[in-house]
Chains A and B, each alone.
Chain A
């Protein structure tokens, strides 16, 4: 849940990158970390296995700047995508203000995307959150792969985007679509906050 401090005029929001294993959630954060000026970001914390697979979460604090006199900060988290780590995935979702669902565009990963989306819905429900009411955007990663291996954004929208929310084609390694996605979810989260915020 967002924290708005009217005394020190600070806003802090939590955004979680969710999706199947190896879909590119950590790559999103690594790209953002590499491109945002040092003064606007903190250290990237990665709790990963020796093989660089996310074990618990990646965490990147970002400062968006001052909006209407409020210093606005975002906490970006990823979850471990592997099915085995559902217990930790559920913990990271706690208190999320917005979700970026990172889907793997490869046709052979279609079922994994569906399974992960279903898992997101179940885990949100376990926290008493209805997926239909939370700011959500989709990112269809790996759109740079050969066309015969992947599904296009329209096909993925048909299969996954049941709320018809914003979606972004992306290639996280080169950075295409990464900031567009972050901007999309930031806007949704902050607009929702502007509509009714918690006082501190």
Chain B
């Protein structure tokens, strides 16, 4: 399990333990990864986040067209895996959860513990504004060298 913000780790670990989910991804509504479990390649995580955020953004817009509140969750049942996708509000803004589960779990179980995860995250989230830490002064110097290396110029 990896999380950008340490306070996410406890609630997410509890969710993974109880739901037996195979893959779990928490992201911002723009598709930036905040925490993940089960993915082995960073690039796959980013692709899954981009697609998950795209699905949620589309359904939110469909709801808006119907003058309805946003859909809370979507579920797809495949032959080997099920997929659960849900948007939720946190003190840090709107997040999206994407959960992939196998036959050792079920949609009901995932939904149940996902609700608890959302409540736990709301309790754990820091309420103070993030500090204005910035990247080191050497960042910009090294940036030019790295761009030269990557682009061969």
Contacts and interface: CB of A to CB of B under 8 A. Distances in A.
B143 interface: yes
Interface string B1-30: 010111000000000000000000000111
Given A59-B50, A190-B143, A197-B135, A95 B130 contact: no
Interface in B37-57: 41-44, 46-47, 50-51, 54, 57
B4 to A, nearest CB: 4
A44 B121 CA distance: 32
Contacts of B58: 56, 88, 91
Nearest to A93: B30
B1 to A, nearest CB: 12
Interface size class of A (residues with CB under 8 A): 35 or more
A66 B43 CA distance: 16
Interface stretch (A4-12, A147-155, A168-176): A4-12
A75 interface: yes
A12 B32 contact: yes
Interface in A36-68: 40-43, 45, 47, 56-57, 59, 61, 63-68
B133 A61 contact: no
A73 interface: yes
Contacts of B131: 199
A-side binding surface: helix, strand, loop or mixed? mixed
A179 interface: yes
Interface residues of B, number: 43
B146 A65 contact: yes
Contact of A67 (B30, B46, B142): B142
A51 to B, nearest CB: 20
A7 B6 contact: yes
A186 B139 CA distance: 14
Given A7-B6, A94-B30, A61 B54 contact: no
A64 to B, nearest CB: 6
B91 to A, nearest CB: 15
Given A14-B31, A47-B54, A91-B58, A4 B135 contact: yes
Contacts of A183: 147, 150-151, 153
Contacts of B146: 64-67, 72
Contact of B54 (A6, A40, A63, A91): A91
A194 B43 contact: no
Interface of B: 2, 4-6, 28-34, 41-44, 46-47, 50-51, 54, 57-58, 61, 130-136, 138-144, 146-147, 149-151, 153
Given A4-B135, A47-B54, A70-B139, 14 more contacts: A1-B30, A1-B32, A3-B32, A7-B4, A40-B150, A45-B50, A57-B50, A64-B146, A65-B149, A68-B139, A183-B151, A190-B143, A199-B130, A199-B133
Interface of A: 1, 3-8, 12, 14, 40-43, 45, 47, 56-57, 59, 61, 63-68, 70, 72-73, 75, 77, 87-88, 91-92, 94-95, 179-180, 182-183, 186-187, 190-191, 193-200
